[in-house]
Structure 1
């Protein structure tokens, strides 16, 4: 299988808590709130000719105040760190998808490049809209995991479609109509799985937009069975299994294609004698 069109970037979630803590420390150390008071404490010590003991007291008291300040604001800093890490992860995934799209275009597979480009566009819209409101935060992690999994599996499915199509020449000259039917059936299954995945992502985005634009002051009264996000929860229930479904389809197709002949090298030009 050609690895050039396989999605090779890690999913955004699960997010390592160590990475969040490290990013939070970086943000705090870079902040003027951390180092400005220490500079002022040093300047005050010099101006007052405080001596070694005075410097130790000034720096110790200042460091304690700075530490107390950040301790109170640690949840907000961690939230900022998480947003940055999510943004960086999504950007890396987008760049990987763009690389694969360019690769498909360069190989003349414009239909698959267009398909994957639409997945990328929808992925970006979903990831942007799901982080817009606090009331959508409960869905964000599951949505990100579902989107990442589907994009990775769609890339793998397109890669395998390419591999099967490269064997078409051998199948057409195999004198076995059953092999041709198996190849065509596998292509239909792959295309149907990709279509179903896109439809699921489209439904998720529609629900996110609906929840994000719903006015909390002017929404109609809802029953217990019609709470906001219920439909999105239902769709996410299927979305969590969507990548697995594509993977199962992929495995089933590969098993059914084991009897296909391997591609052979094209014969060289035949010399024509007169």
Structure 2
């Protein structure tokens, strides 16, 4: 009887702690979502950016340089841009951590009785709203260009969206943990997102990359995010072998491993920088 009482007493604090951490994630995410909704400019930018990237860059490539690829470049580009916008917009949304630091909001969060990881994950989830909006922009631009996906393919990508956003936000945490200037943070985020767009196979195939370009493409988290997305979309099609680089299990493992590393290192740097203030 005493053993049963001990187990019940052990389970209750664990359940209570999990509920507290979950509540912290939801509260931080809800705050950032509210801020985004109150900033029409951010939402407009989320819709306009796909037009600039996919419509102009992708459109030119589609019309001038895709004759000998051997697969439909439109679908290839659409999937890549969907993953890219999830990754990029979430990363850009993490810049608000600098404003939170200036307002002492970050310091108040870090002294609260919740895990630092709950705070960071909540921040990433809150920043992903603009990323979801940008995906709607990509789909609209794709529709205008005559590129569409089947409903089941869209649902499969939607299921992967949280993982893609978490990967982008975790990478951004490393930058946010070392830079406390809003201007520098925006520049740094662009420096880690724009190269990935071209090196990870978003709109330019990287199957024949070699040397330094090969090495860079293999250490970028977005490479595996894009490849996993294409593996899901192209599953069972004749173009699968021409488009997908890695086994989906390998891509998933790489995403989880790189995200975990970036999350741990970034959260530590972020907490240390706030403590040093």
Q: Mark yes or no: TM-score above 0.5.
A: no
User: TM-score, normalised on structure 2?
Assistant: 0.31
Bigger CA radius of gyration: 1
User: TM-score, normalised on structure 1?
Assistant: 0.31
